[in-house]
Structure formats: structure tokens, C-alpha cells
Amino acid sequence: MSEAPQEVQLSLAEFDRDQLPPTQRALTGDAFREAVREHLAGQFAGEGGAAEVAITEDRIIIRWTDSTERQSLARLGVDQLNAGNVEKGVATLRVALQRNPGDHEALFNLGMALSEEGELEEAVEVLGRLLAQYPEHAPGWVALGVAQARMNREKAATASLTKAVALAPADGYALKNLGAILARAGEIVAAIEHLQRAVVILPEDSQAWINLAMALEQFGELDGADEAYHRVLEIDPAGDVGKLAEEGLSRIAAANFRKRGGGYRADAVAYCLGALQRFEGMSKADVQKIAFEIAMLGSRGLDVNDPAEQYTLRSIEGKFSGLHLLCIQYVGFQIIEPSLDLGFDLSAEYDAARSMHQGKR
């Protein structure tokens, strides 16, 4: 059973010409009005409900009929966003709000879309309208907090996300975002508490895990941070978050390396000296081949603090500990590209080994 048609009127003068193809943006008169009509009619063609678009001298009139068998205008906009058609989805949600300014689904999803597109001032305004009418809308408080954080409004974002967690204590996204912003503010203990709850609720969320790992590392809980970074690599080994996890694991390995060795490490000096002797007389191309193979192996993780863990290479015979391979790699890159930062400082061991090597020569 269909509902009676509903009508939305917009100002033709305020129509954004950028929505039209470039060849139609300078049109005037009847040609412009027809271009606008075709554009808007095309937005709704074949979609749920039925739409009729009419253009007068100064108005755009959209008549929309919902059907119990078809989706609402707000739901249509959400589906368009989910399909990747952001421009069309945003336009549809705007029309939905012209028709019903209190449509909570349209307000929430329009605010989210604007935030993702970087239209942060308008996103905050739209989400503020949502929460003024529906103050218990926990996802709306999350979305508002995220938009405020993107604007570097830390206090406002913290307040919004705290409200979201109070309304929905089991909302993993609220916990994740509040934990992240607390960590940025230096409130590490509270951040860790929220992030630990978040990863229980969102066990496959790599962003929640990387936030937890970084907070634990900052707090000095290196074993917990190590586990969290490894969890990130299980979830997203090749993405940007995975790269952050690799960098974190390198920092932890370096910290443990120094903590256990004190000063410079005699075993690392010996490994660097052996690498200098191995590479003496080799071409840079051959050195590069070995260094790159170790770098590739290291991208999957080398345990530099466990001498019992052994690795093999195609380019060199034998078995090597993680620290041994890292020393070979470090010396190799000192030969082929000394300015490169490998994320693990062996400069003291390398300098000592080089002095010994030059002395022997």
C-alpha cells in the first residue's frame, strides 16, 4: 500500500552547478533548468520509491512517493553511500532532510559521510542537530567525537566519546576512539583500559590493536605491546597499520637489545666484524643482494633477542640468529646506502667492529 506523495522544494538559484557535467555548468535559461531536472531525475531513476522532478522559474520541486514495498529516501541514500557513490548518497540524504528535518537516519549518515569527506564543520553541525533531538543516540556521539578529533578539538571530542561510552559501554568503536584520543592527550592508563576492552569486542580490528600496542609501548609494557603488534600483523600484514606494527616491533627489539646488553654488545660487534670480512672484496651488487634478502626476511619478523631462533638464507650458507642477520644487514647497508635508517641502531657495534677490522688490515 503506497503512501501519499510528499513534496520538497529547493531554490534553483542555490543549486550547486558543480553537480552538473563540466559542459553544462555554464548553461542558462531553459537549457539550464532542463539540465538540472535531468540530473536530479537521474539520481532517483530505478531506485526505491518513485520520484518526479519539476523545475519552475526559480524553484526545484521533487515529489517523492514511498512504498511499504520499497525503501525510504534516507535508506536509499545510505545504500548509495555503501555502494561507493558518495556524491549521490549525500545529495539523496540532503533531500531526505528537506522533506523531514528530524529524520535521524538521514542526519546520522549525512554527518558520517561529511566527516569522511573532510567537510568537518558541516558534519559537526549536522550531528549536533541529530543529538539535540536524540540525545541518547550513542553512535551519533561517536561520529561527533571522531569529527571533532579530526578538527583537533581534543576536549570536545573526549567529552563526546565519553558520553558515547556511558550510553553504550559495549560499543567497541566508542571504546576504540576514546582510547585513541586519551592516548593522544597523554592519559595512557585510561587509554589502555578502554583499548583493552575495545579489542575484546573487536578482535579483528587492526586499528584498535595498533592503538593498544602503541599505548602499551608508551607506558613501558613492552611484552604486552609486542603481543599487540604481532596481532596487528596477523590481521593486516601488508597495510599501513601493518607497517606501523613492524616499526613498533623494531623499537621494542632495540629496547630489549640494549637493556640486556648494556653499553655495546660484544656479540653484535663480533657479528659486524664477520660481516665486514665477508663483504670485503665483494661488489656492491652482491652485497645488496644479501642485505635485501635479509630485509625481506625481516619484514616477516626477526627475533634479535633469542639466540636459539635460527634462520637460513638463499644467498649465504648456514644458519643464523636474528641478531646475526641484523648485523649482516646493517653492515651491508652501510656499504651500499649508509644514509638509510633501518630502525635499529647498531652504530656503536659497527664502529667498534670497523676499528678492529681496519686494525687487522
Region 197-205 average pLDDT: 95
Is the model's pLDDT at 265 over the cut of 50?
yes
> What single-letter amino acid sits at 350?
Y
Cell of 228: 599487540
Number of H helices, E strands in the chain: 16, 5
How high is the pLDDT of residue 135? Answer: 94
Name all domains of the chain by residue range, CATH numbers in brackets: 1-100 (no CATH), 169-262 (1.25.40.10), 266-360 (no CATH)
pLDDT digits (tens, 9 = 90+) for 147-187: 999 999 999 999 999 999 999 999 999 999 999 999 999 99
How high is the pLDDT of residue 359? Answer: 78
Question: What angle is formed at CA 51 by the lines to CA 49 and CA 53, rounded to 5 degrees?
Answer: 170
3-state secondary structure of 10: strand
Considering only CA atoms, which of 60, 50, 94, 54 is closest in space to residue 74? 94
Distance CA 45, CA 192 (A): 49
Q: Are 236 and 246 spatial neighbours (Cβ–Cβ below 8 Å)? A: no
Is the model's pLDDT at 270 over the cut of 70?
yes
Of 78-87, 97-106, 194-203, 347-356, highest mean pLDDT: 194-203
Distance CA 329, CA 294 (A): 6
* pLDDT band of 295, cuts 50, 70, 90: confident
pLDDT digits (tens, 9 = 90+) for 306-338: 777 788 898 899 999 888 999 999 999 999 998
Is the model's pLDDT at 3 over the cut of 70?
no
Give the pTM.
Answer: 0.64
Region 115-130 average pLDDT: 95
> What's the first-to-final CA gap in the chain, in angstroms?
95
How high is the pLDDT of residue 45? Answer: 56
- Percent of the chain's residues with pLDDT above 90: 49
Question: What angle is formed at CA 351 by the lines to CA 345 and CA 354, rounded to 5 degrees?
Answer: 130
Region 334-357 average pLDDT: 88
Query: For the chain, how long is the longest CA-to-CA vector?
Result: 95
> What single-letter amino acid sits at 23?
T
Q: Are 187 and 219 spatial neighbours (Cβ–Cβ below 8 Å)? A: no
How high is the pLDDT of residue 69? Answer: 40
Distance CA 339, CA 14 (A): 56
pLDDT digits (tens, 9 = 90+) for 16-71: 888 888 888 888 888 888 888 888 777 665 554 556 788 888 888 777 665 444 45
pLDDT digits (tens, 9 = 90+) for 202-248: 999 999 999 999 999 999 999 999 999 999 999 998 889 988 998 88
How high is the pLDDT of residue 341? Answer: 80
Lowest-confidence region among 95-109, 112-126, 246-260, 342-356: 246-260
3-state secondary structure of 313: coil
How high is the pLDDT of residue 70? Answer: 43
Per the DSSP assignment, residues forming a β-bridge with 320 are: 311
Lowest-confidence region among 72-86, 103-117, 247-261: 247-261
The overall average pLDDT reported for the chain is 86
Q: Is residue 219 exposed (0-12), middle (13-18) or buried (19+ Cβ within 10 Å)?
A: middle
